[in-house]
């Protein structure tokens, strides 16, 4: 697979426990540059947890994750042992990785534009004028130029999620992670968010998407990854995945949702 040549994400044997609950059991996944990978699977399969591990919102208990060649969340000591990295380094690594949450998590005390320019100004130290110009361009890109000064509570769910995508893009990340970005939306708003994501994919953004939107997976994804019970069950290109799933658990899952 091309992913090996030019990988943005390299996850190897990732283990994760919540207490005694073994939620990730040796997950390995490579994502190539400009690749769009959709992770699907039943709830509780560990797909969201895995996504959160990629930008170290969750600590991992085994294995390693690299993004753009940098080990995420940990550093190697002289004796080869891994220890959790400093907060500052972890924060720096996260600037490379955009994350879109199921529940948007916009900051309610800031307007749409302020949500977008906050990190560029405060973290990247971009000048305010430049950040505003870039933020306005991003609002145009997600189709919300007229909502520049609106507070999140005046926006619909779909609009909030599009601002959240713009907020993540403002850091010019090399990778975008989407955690069920349409699950909290009313049905009529799902389309506008998927449209923005599809444009993003067409522009060559590297994306990992946890989603139940099979239409999006079929059209925009380069690869579908099926997770169940903390392991990757199978992965294939969408055409192959949907027409001839090999694993029995994939067949069962697809028969339920399609």
Residues engaged in binding another protein (CB under 8 A):
55, 57, 87-88, 91-92, 94-95, 97-99, 101, 103, 105-109, 118-119, 122-124, 164, 167-168, 170-171
Sign of CA dihedral 129, 135, 136, 138: positive
Least distance from another protein to the Cβ atom of residue 40, Å: 22
Q: What is the dihedral of CA 128, 131, 133, 138, to 10 degrees?
A: -150
CB neighbour class for 182 (10 Å; exposed up to 12, middle 13-18, buried from 19): buried
Least distance from another protein to the Cβ atom of residue 118, Å: 7
Least distance from another protein to the Cβ atom of residue 57, Å: 6
Task: Write out the two tokens for 91.
Answer: 């924060």
φ/ψ region of 247 (left if φ > 0, alpha if ψ in -120 to 50, else beta) reads beta
82 within 8 A of 14, measured Cβ to Cβ: no
Helix (H, G, I), strand (E, B) or coil at 10: strand
User: Which DSSP string corresponds to 158-174?
Assistant: HHHHHHHHHHHHTT--S
Cβ proximity to another protein, 184 vs 236, nearer residue? 184
Cβ proximity to another protein, 49 vs 250, nearer residue? 49
Nearest-CA neighbor of 46 among 32, 68, 25? 25
119 within 8 A of 166, measured Cβ to Cβ: no
Cβ proximity to another protein, 101 vs 253, nearer residue? 101
Cβ proximity to another protein, 12 vs 95, nearer residue? 95
Cβ proximity to another protein, 3 vs 163, nearer residue? 163
Least distance from another protein to the Cβ atom of residue 112, Å: 14
Cβ proximity to another protein, 123 vs 202, nearer residue? 123
End-to-end CA distance of the chain: 28
Least distance from another protein to the Cβ atom of residue 97, Å: 8
Least distance from another protein to the Cβ atom of residue 229, Å: 25
Strands 62-67 and 7-18: antiparallel
Least distance from another protein to the Cβ atom of residue 198, Å: 22
Cβ proximity to another protein, 171 vs 232, nearer residue? 171
120 within 8 A of 197, measured Cβ to Cβ: no
């Amino acid at each position: 697979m091309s992913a090996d040549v030019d990988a943005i994400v390299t996850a190897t044997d990732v283990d994760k426990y919540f207490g005694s609950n073994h939620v990730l059991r040796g997950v390995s996944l490579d994502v190539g540059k400009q690749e769009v990978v959709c992770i699907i699977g039943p709830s509780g399969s560990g797909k969201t947890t895995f996504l959160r591990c990629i930008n170290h919102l969750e600590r991992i208990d085994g294995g390693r994750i690299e993004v753009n060649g940098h080990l995420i969340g940990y550093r190697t000591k002289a004796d080869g042992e891994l220890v959790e990295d400093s907060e500052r380094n972890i924060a720096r690594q996260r600037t490379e990785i955009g994350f879109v949450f199921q529940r948007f998590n916009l900051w309610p005390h800031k307007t749409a534009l302020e949500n977008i320019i906050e990190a560029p100004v405060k973290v990247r130290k971009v000048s305010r004028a430049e950040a505003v110009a870039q933020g306005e361009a991003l609002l145009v890109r997600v189709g919300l130029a007229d909502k520049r000064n609106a507070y999140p509570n005046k926006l619909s769910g779909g609009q909030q999620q599009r601002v959240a995508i713009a907020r993540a893009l403002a850091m010019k990340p090399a990778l975008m992670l989407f955690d069920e970005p349409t699950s909290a939306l009313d049905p009529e708003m799902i389309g506008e968010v998927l449209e923005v994501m599809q444009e993003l994919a067409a522009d060559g953004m590297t994306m990992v998407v946890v989603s139940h939107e099979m239409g999006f997976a079929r059209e925009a994804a380069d690869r579908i990854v099926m997770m169940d019970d903390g392991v990757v069950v199978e992965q294939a290109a969408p055409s192959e995945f949907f027409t001839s799933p090999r694993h029995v658990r994939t067949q069962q899952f697809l028969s339920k949702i399609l």
